[in-house]
A and B are shown apart, each in its own frame.
Chain A
Amino acid sequence: MSAGILGFGAYVPWRRLQRKAVVDAHGWFNSALKSQGKGERAMANWDEDAVTMAVEAARDALTGFDRSGVAGLRVASTTFPFLDRLNAGIVADALELSEDVSASDVAATQRAGVSALIDALRSRQKTLVVGSENRRTKAASTYELTSGDAAAALLVGEGDVVAQLLAAKSRTADFVDHYRSMDNTFDYQWEERWIRDAGYMKVAPPVIRDCLAAANVKPEEVTTFCFATTLSKVAQSVAKAAGVPEGAICDPLYANLGDSGVAHPLLLLAAALEKANPGDKILVVGFGQGADALLFEVTDRIKTHKRGLGVSGHLARRKEETLYSRFLAFNGLIEMERGMRSETDKQTALSAAWRNHNTVTRFNGGKCAKCGTVQFPKTRICVNPNCGALDTQDYHSLADAKGRVNSYTADRLTYSPDPPACYGMIQFEEGGRWMMDFTDVDEKELAVGADMRMMFRIKDIDPTRGFRRYFWKAAPMTGAVKEG
């Protein structure tokens, strides 16, 4: 049996910052930006980061899969919120993967996601590979316009694969087109022409040739070429140098998303799989201090594969953002007067957080074995007034439960990084309810009875101690995968 891709998914945040809004703000300063005002880039909400987006992409990829069989988790990013805390550990917990899972963070280069994918495929264990990026960029930089926040996930292993790995090749070169060190908040880049000529063109074509040769596949047989770069014509030049047909180059998703860094090659692969037919040969290349190339062949299984929202579904779930100031605020790029109400201490007791991680990170409630009542959180005594049994509740996940709005408000008094704070009572179809925050919601969409789904988000940020805590929030069902 050979290894391959079992499942794939993606996550793109709801808001799409209109590039014109950025250019309108900065064109006076950097007139070179003026030609870049077309289209939109994906913009993470204030309560999203590389971890939360990784969770959502993974949930998308795991649609229809039994999670208990996942043996490995590799989360790749250069924008992890924690430097010394396993970010993949948060993801594993939120996904309720087995405690036996081997989880690790992969970082420090733009090809981290693709490298992790190769390692996972070689391990032959059922492994979830996630790339997620929420890159901070300087105001008025080109990268502010070209970047996009997103995540992609691939479940790999042996068995009923939708795409079989034919070959994979790597090479490493300390070619520093850009970098970010411990001392820097933002990337520092070198000249694009040099990156193109001495970087992409020297490194990528040979790896591609090696990979195709190892698979005994001719370049012209490649049907889809997933190559992530924001430099114009580079994908075409690399393809040409490697002999790959120009028509195979996939849409870089620049118009509506932008370059999602570590996530992007995986996102392009997921997008390619969404459109793939059996027999297609998909070539994926990751670039960054060298390059990785992987060649897949799509199987018949692709036709019956159970999918989540995927790239196309998430791109369709979209809210145009024309306020550049909101982007600046969400990304901490502007010193805002947030008001005294924002000064509340947000310290998290780590001991209590661990003790309650089933409740908070996994969104597990309890289900009474005696009367069947689902309740949140899980408690010692059943809430059903006709039951009241002691210690009868088993953990019961509400993360994938369908909720309905029972009551709501849009609160302009309380502090929220994105006022008004929308929240209300969510009642779950299977039982249980909770007064909870809403996210990705338009105030005018709020209504009693509205269908909601749960999303893993940042609950609070503690600026004093550099900590952030996570919880689940209710988002409109709009665009969600229909049941059945």
Chain B
Amino acid sequence: MAKGIRDKVAILGMGCSKFGERWDMNAEDLMVEAYTEALADAGIETKQIEAAWLATAIEEQHVGKSAVPLAMALRLPFIPCTRVENYCASGTEAFRGAVYAVASGAADIALALGVEKLKDTGYGGLPQRGRGTLNNMTWPNASAPGSFAQLAAAYRAKHGSAPQDLKRAMAHISVKSHDNGAKNPKAHLRNKITIDTVMNSPMIAEPLGLYDCCGVSDGSACAIVTTPEIAKSLGKNDLITVKALQLAVSNGLEAQHNSWDGSYFATTRIASKRAYEEAGIRNPREEVNLIEVHDCFSVTELVTMEDLHISGEGRAIFDVLDGFYDAAGTVPCQIDGGLKCFGHPIGASGLRMIYEMYLQMQGRAGERQRKDLPRIGLTHNLGGFPHQNVCSISIIGRHGA
């Protein structure tokens, strides 16, 4: 089996725009905002970048097709640029492209940038759009909350959880993310809320209320990667390197075969296992210090805790309510506010998570900085629907950790 990516590639610099309703910004402006921060952080010039990847998911809403918008916005010097789209895993996909380019020796320095400008639809929530000629004929007109809400129904049925217990744990997740987001100046939502706020919010898709849903935001995030050797030669110490990058994509088993019960993410279970193996992690609950997961909805985060093999099956409700994932808990989850409060500009989200890991590991996370600098962190994206999706996992950490 291939040995994987562990410690072959280091992060040279990162940047992230403020997320939110950026009424005065085009996607191109947001790209430049993230990019200039990353470039300054890396301490290099544009001409040193040899290859680039752009992640956008709903490009028809802003930049349109291809990687040309990236090359033009950043004035990249006629280098290879590629646009990737893989639902909400798009940002991590761009990162994977850049990291693999460096690991393969095809490029010394590569860039990954994700951007999404979602607030030009005229309404709240994600843009409503077609799903393809044939899918449109048979799929429900499902919204994202309607799709993910179904996890709750199946989870309750499988584990015999009382609806109010599950709802309370979901509420705890949202309250925790708002607490964390309040400390993050780049976050979209910075207001603190209470359990009652969540429990009493208007129903969006049973049992998900308004406060069980993440923000829909404009934003961009950017990573510049290189080899550890080049990073050192550029004067970088205390390197943050990539330990694992894994992807699992549904093949129709969940959607078409009756072996899946609807209560978990088959892809996440597989991708996380492979990622731990690639990173040399045997006991994730003990060895992973910080996680950023795809909390598009509170129930997604709850279920994902089990699928990442950190909470035992059927135990996530208890870990959540015990504060295990709180900012001051054992393994903080969404210490930056997560999708819930940092916001969710789809193409940027995966890179935003890695950005937080990168800051936390270097002690640069400001008011929300974890006291003990995390050594190993995991980020997770889940794009699509519980019954057919793309799951990406990245594990990054201190070089040699």
A434 partner, pick from B129, B136, B138, beta carbons under 8 A: B138
Residues of B within 8 A of A420 (CB): 205-206
Given known A-B contacts A408-B150, A411-B205, A433-B256, A471 and B138 have beta carbons under 8 A apart: yes
B121 at the interface (CB under 8 A from A): yes
Does B130 sit within 8 A of A, measured CB to CB? yes
Assembly CA distance A385 to B270 (angstroms): 15
Residues of B contacting A344 with CB < 8 Å? Answer: 128-130, 141
A406-B262, A409-B150, A425-B150 known; A415 and B140 CB under 8 Å? Answer: no
**Residue B9 CB within 8 A of the other chain:** no
Is the beta-carbon distance between A407 and B146 smaller than 8 angstroms? no
Q: How far is the CA of A375 from the CA of B259 in the complex (A)?
A: 12
Q: Which of B143-160 contact A (CB under 8 A)?
A: 143, 145-147, 149-151, 153-154, 156-157
Asked if B294 is at the interface of the complex by the 8 Å CB criterion, the answer is no
- In the bound complex, do residue B256 and residue A413 qualify as a contact, i.e. CB atoms below 8 Å apart? no
Contact B146 A414 (CB under 8 A): yes
Query: Does A448 count as interface, using CB distance less than 8 angstroms?
Result: yes
Set B137, B140, B258: member contacting A421, Cβ < 8 A: B140
Query: What CA separation (Å) do A459 and B261 show in the bound complex?
Result: 26
Q: Is the CB of B143 within 8 A of A414?
A: yes
Chain A residues within 8 Å of B129, by CB: 344
Q: Closest B residue to A343 by CB, please name it.
A: B128
Would B154 and A435 count as touching, CB distance under 8 A? Answer: no
- The CA of A412 and the CA of B251, in the complex, are separated in Å by 29
Q: In the complex, which of the residues A346, A348, A406, A434 has the most CB atoms of chain B within 10 Å of its own CB atom?
A: A406
Contact partners of A421 in chain B: CB under 8 A: 140-142, 146
**Shortest beta-carbon distance from A422 to chain B in Å:** 9
Q: How far is the CA of A448 from the CA of B130 in the complex (A)?
A: 28
Q: Looking at the complex, which one of B122, B143, B154 makes contact with A413 (CB distance below 8 Å)?
A: B143
Enumerate chain A residues within 8 angstroms of B145, measured Cβ to Cβ.
409, 411, 413
Out of B128, B157, B385, which one reaches A414, CB within 8 Å? B128
In the complex, what residues of A have CB within 8 A of residue B1's CB? Answer: none
Contact A413 B156 (CB under 8 A): no
- CA A406 to CA B150, docked complex, whole Å: 9
Instruction: Tell me if B123 is interfacial: C-beta within 8 Å of chain A.
Output: yes
Q: Is the CB of B137 within 8 A of A360?
A: yes
A432 touches B256 (CB 8 A): yes
Cα distance A434–B138 in the bound complex, in angstroms: 9
Q: How many residues of A contact B (CB 8 A)?
A: 54
A149, B298: Cα distance in complex, Å: 43
In the complex, whether A299 has a CB less than 8 A from a CB of chain B is no
For B257, the chain A residues whose CB sits under 8 A away are: 373, 375, 383-385, 433
Quick one: CB contact mask for A325-368 with B, threshold 8 Å, 1 for yes?
00000000000000111011110110011001001100000000
The distance in angstroms between the C-alpha atoms of A436 and B387, with both chains bound, is 12
**By the criterion CB–CB under 8 Å, are A423 and B140 in contact?**
yes
Q: Are A340 and B122 neighbours in the complex by a CB distance under 8 Å?
A: yes
Counting CB contacts under 8 A, is B134 at the interface? yes
Interface membership of B255, Cβ < 8 A: yes
B interface residues, how many (CB within 8 angstroms): 44
Q: How near does chain A come to B131, taking the closest CB pair, in angstroms?
A: 10
A443 at the interface (CB under 8 A from B): yes
Contacts of B25 in A (CB 8 A): none
> Within the assembled complex, what's the spacing in Å between the Cα atoms of A151 and B348?
53
Most buried by B among A339, A410, A411: A411
Residues of A within 8 Å of B387, CB to CB, are 425, 435
**Does A200 belong to the interface (CB within 8 Å)?**
no
Give complex CA distance A409, B297 in Å: 14
> Are A349 and B133 in contact, CB atoms less than 8 angstroms apart?
yes
Q: Does B72 contact A (CB under 8 A)?
A: no
How far does the alpha carbon of A373 sit from the alpha carbon of B123 in the complex, in Å?
43
CB distance from A375 to the nearest CB of B (A): 5
CA distance A375 to B136 in the complex (A): 19
- Is B121 touching A448 in the complex (CB atoms < 8 A)? no
Q: Are the CB atoms of A435 and B140 closer together than 8 Å? A: yes
Contact mask B102-141 → A, CB, 8 Å, 1/0? 0000000000000000000111010011100110111111
List of B residues within 8 angstroms of A356 by Cβ: 134, 137
User: A413 to B153, Cβ gap below 8 A?
Assistant: no
Smallest CB separation, A381 vs chain B (Å):
9
In the complex, residue of chain B having the shortest beta-carbon distance to the beta carbon of A409: B149
Q: How far is the CB of A273 from chain B (nearest CB, A)?
A: 36
Residues of chain A within 8 A of B258, CB atoms compared: 427, 431-433
Q: Which of A345, A349, A407, A408 has the most CB of B within 10 A?
A: A407
Contact indicator A448/B154 (Cβ below 8 Å): yes
A63 at the interface (CB under 8 A from B): no
A341 contacts B123, CB within 8 Å?
yes
Which B residues touch A246, using CB under 8 A?
A: none
Cβ B153 vs Cβ A414 within 8 A: no
* Bound Cα distance from A394 to B302, whole angstroms: 40
Asked if residues B154 and A348 are in contact (CB atoms below 8 Å), the reply is no
- B195 interfacial by beta-carbon distance below 8 Å: no
B359 at the binding interface (Cβ < 8 Å): no
A383 and B253 contacting across the interface, CB-CB below 8 Å: yes
With A344-B130, A448-B157 known, 10 other A-B pairs at CB within 8 A are A341-B123, A373-B257, A376-B256, A383-B251, A407-B262, A409-B146, A411-B205, A427-B258, A431-B258, A446-B153
Residues of A within 8 A of B (CB): 339-341, 343-346, 348-349, 352-353, 356, 359-360, 373, 375-377, 379, 383-385, 406-416, 420-421, 423-425, 427, 431-437, 443, 446, 448-449, 459-460, 469, 471
17 contacting pairs across A/B (C-beta < 8 A): A340-B121, A348-B136, A375-B256, A379-B252, A383-B252, A385-B253, A385-B257, A410-B205, A414-B141, A423-B142, A425-B262, A434-B256, A435-B140, A435-B385, A436-B140, A448-B157, A459-B138
